[in-house]
Structure 1
């Protein structure tokens, strides 16, 4: 008798996310309430239950799970950051990504196709080589490649010397790549729910109850919930929640646009990013080109953006990839990113006892999902930072111990 083929992770599950977890009513109290049902909130809840044994946890989402930035990003995953603090938490995350499909028993389509960061000037080259050396010192895979090697890795990149910004080389991280954002959220949600976490949708937080400097509960559109610990994972709306606790957080919210093309045959084998022309491009598993650029300059909470950003983004993409000249734009969208003064996240304790903060990821939140979930869960469970998120305290904006990643955030974090 021929042995049966092994069942792939998650193959026995229905495709529709509504069947992967229950939709319970909120209980009267929980040990921990996580505000925000995106990737970071779901991952935090999962690791609280799995690693720390805290299962009386509720994840509150004002809309539907993963309906915010988690489903509105370009899914790039990498860890090739310049500073030790940044590369530490992102490399921790990348290592978790590498085993996440098995961990969650769910297909997340993690594809380590590599990421090219192009250099277009002598200063770009100097900065890029410096970053490669810093990465190697931190044990992160990184290479400097010349224009011909860029062409070998991604044959459709235009390396002609006659363009506005000629390609003078690139950094390359082979272990970097992409994943399917919806599947990541569904995998974490299902795994957390199976450990006893309540995932409560259509439940907007309207107030935080604080007595004598300590958290006692949250007020929501579905009633009050008593708790001694609140973990904020609300991305672009973090400053709104901070005001409820009397905190004026050093973050501002901007729209960040992305778009996809019509379905194409596989032509783009990696991820290409360029700060100079201001675009990053990959090809999704189904075949559409996924493209992003910088944030819209204005502040706001609308999940939409400006036409001129899309126009510049398309012009930049065509400079690098003339082969896409006849491709049609299928759809565009925007997320709401919260940006801190040093373009690095804020993860840790707050002046309010029992209130924990995870925000300020700007455009880099998706790639950090497993790592920050693990570290933030540790912070909430033990009431002290994990070593990887210890540098990203709220206090650094008064002490001056900044982690300035503006160079990494010029296009996408």
Structure 2
């Protein structure tokens, strides 16, 4: 498992990272030990030399949404602002394994976003042209070309929603989510960052327009800067500070099949039947759909959602009709009114927020880690996240990705 070095230079063989007691004070406290929090800590150390940092995780590292997503990575978003941050992230993904020195099983197998109606076709072609203007690889394919990319897709004219074509991004892909988190955690730990597990933040100590410390289940910790990275529980933390943000938390369900022979060469997403399907490295099918309509923090599957996902998957892929469902789960996603994230300043001078990624958080992991670290270190938003400040909900300068981002992903 390798060797980690603590702050005093002592070696700890056999561990992926240290499990330290929290110190009394840090320059930066990151609340949330998922992919975004770990990536932010890593880039604070790597890009800015800031290592007196703690990542506080109420459970175990990467045990929240990072362990519960469907691992899709793409950048083919409609609006310039969204395309910029996701393309920045995809470029980092392409070199991340070498950067971290850790295998993440990044597989650029491409993504097909199916179009089933004339309006789907118009919207899809518009998105392809917008992607090209932003330097993002994107193509429009007819049904015959779709089958060449993914032979098992049902393009029959006799089904409920016949496939009229698809957008295709060849550089899209998947990665092993656990490995990604472990890679960031190892490198952050080696840089001297404290990764503190079983440490829930229960409140804050406030002095005027600054936060001077965080109250946790493991004692109070003084801090110079607080960076929130808690996904679906961000609104709970902001409530402690008296800050209202336009965030709603919803369960997002997914499921996997038994192990199958490699038959699915790419990622296929469909908004009309509302399912997306890829095949993981071991062979299981990974399937997901949209968020549950209700607000909640449950991490369970619900039969009516599972039934619709399976029906949609079988409609698009008849070859999977006899596959067995292995397990289901849900993550807690945080959704904003314009389906775009919130990144940047809060009303408190030294508190920053990174939230509202909805169903797109995993693919943004290295990109938002890079940009959030810059924002924290410089005290000003990185240009890629500047459009996503909390203030846009007062000015009306929204970045509305409803529908343009296709299906939940």
Range class of TM-score, shorter chain: over 0.9
- The CA deviation at 1:215 is 1.2
Q: 1:259 aligns with which of 255, 274, 298?
A: 255
Per-residue deviation, residues 209-228 of structure 1 (Å, max 9, x unmatched): 11111010100000000002
2:22 aligns to what? 26
The alpha-carbon distance between structure 1 residues 200 and 12, as it changes in their structure 2 partners (threshold 3 A), is: closer
More off after superposition, 17-26 vs 98-107 = 17-26
Per-residue deviation, residues 92-124 of structure 1 (Å, max 9, x unmatched): 000000000000000000000000000000100
Residue 249 (structure 1) aligned with residue 240 (structure 2): no
2:47 aligns to what? 51
Q: 1:66 aligns with which of 62, 67, 75?
A: 62
The alpha-carbon distance between structure 1 residues 149 and 12, as it changes in their structure 2 partners (threshold 3 A), is: farther
For 1:95 and 1:409, locate their aligned partners in 2 and report how far apart those are by CA, in whole Å: 19
- Structure 1 segments, 4+ long, off by >3 Å, are 11-14
1:400 aligns to what? 396
1:4 aligns to what? none
1:3 aligns to what? none
Aligned 1:232-311 pairs, distance under 5 A: 232-311=228-307
The alpha-carbon distance between structure 1 residues 13 and 121, as it changes in their structure 2 partners (threshold 3 A), is: farther
1:331 aligns to what? 327
For 2:90 and 2:211, locate their aligned partners in 1 and report how far apart those are by CA, in whole Å: 33
User: Is the 2:113–2:406 Cα contact (8 Å) retained in structure 1?
Assistant: no
Per-residue deviation, residues 291-320 of structure 1 (Å, max 9, x unmatched): 000011110111113210110000000110
User: Is the 2:78–2:405 Cα contact (8 Å) retained in structure 1?
Assistant: no
User: Is the 2:3–2:14 Cα contact (8 Å) retained in structure 1?
Assistant: no
For 2:3 and 2:217, locate their aligned partners in 1 and report how far apart those are by CA, in whole Å: 32
Aligned 1:109-188 pairs, distance under 5 A: 109-188=105-184
Q: 1:90 aligns with which of 75, 86, 89?
A: 86
For 2:46 and 2:2, locate their aligned partners in 1 and report how far apart those are by CA, in whole Å: 22
For 1:119 and 1:318, locate their aligned partners in 2 and report how far apart those are by CA, in whole Å: 17
User: Is the 1:230–1:356 Cα contact (8 Å) retained in structure 2?
Assistant: yes
For 2:272 and 2:173, locate their aligned partners in 1 and report how far apart those are by CA, in whole Å: 21
For 1:182 and 1:29, locate their aligned partners in 2 and report how far apart those are by CA, in whole Å: 29
- The CA deviation at 1:139 is 0.3
The alpha-carbon distance between structure 1 residues 18 and 215, as it changes in their structure 2 partners (threshold 3 A), is: farther
For 1:133 and 1:407, locate their aligned partners in 2 and report how far apart those are by CA, in whole Å: 16
Per-residue deviation, residues 24-76 of structure 1 (Å, max 9, x unmatched): 00000000000000000000000001100000000000000000000100000
Residue 370 (structure 1) aligned with residue 384 (structure 2): no
For 1:331 and 1:13, locate their aligned partners in 2 and report how far apart those are by CA, in whole Å: 35
- The CA deviation at 1:87 is 0.2
Equivalenced residue count is 401
User: Is the 2:127–2:404 Cα contact (8 Å) retained in structure 1?
Assistant: no
For 1:18 and 1:82, locate their aligned partners in 2 and report how far apart those are by CA, in whole Å: 46
User: Is the 2:2–2:14 Cα contact (8 Å) retained in structure 1?
Assistant: no
Q: TM-score, normalised by structure 1?
A: 0.96
For 2:301 and 2:339, locate their aligned partners in 1 and report how far apart those are by CA, in whole Å: 20
2:349 aligns to what? 353
For 1:388 and 1:135, locate their aligned partners in 2 and report how far apart those are by CA, in whole Å: 16
- The CA deviation at 1:411 is 2.1
Q: 2:337 aligns with which of 328, 341, 346?
A: 341
3-state SS of 1:366 partner: coil
3-state SS of 1:99 partner: helix
The alpha-carbon distance between structure 1 residues 286 and 18, as it changes in their structure 2 partners (threshold 3 A), is: farther
User: Is the 1:296–1:305 Cα contact (8 Å) retained in structure 2?
Assistant: no
Can you give the 5+ residue segments of structure 2 that lack an aligned partner in the other structure? 5-12
Can you give the 5+ residue segments of structure 1 that lack an aligned partner in the other structure? 1-10
Aligned 1:198-217 pairs, distance under 5 A: 198-217=194-213
For 1:294 and 1:287, locate their aligned partners in 2 and report how far apart those are by CA, in whole Å: 23
For 1:352 and 1:306, locate their aligned partners in 2 and report how far apart those are by CA, in whole Å: 39
Alpha-carbon RMSD: 1.3
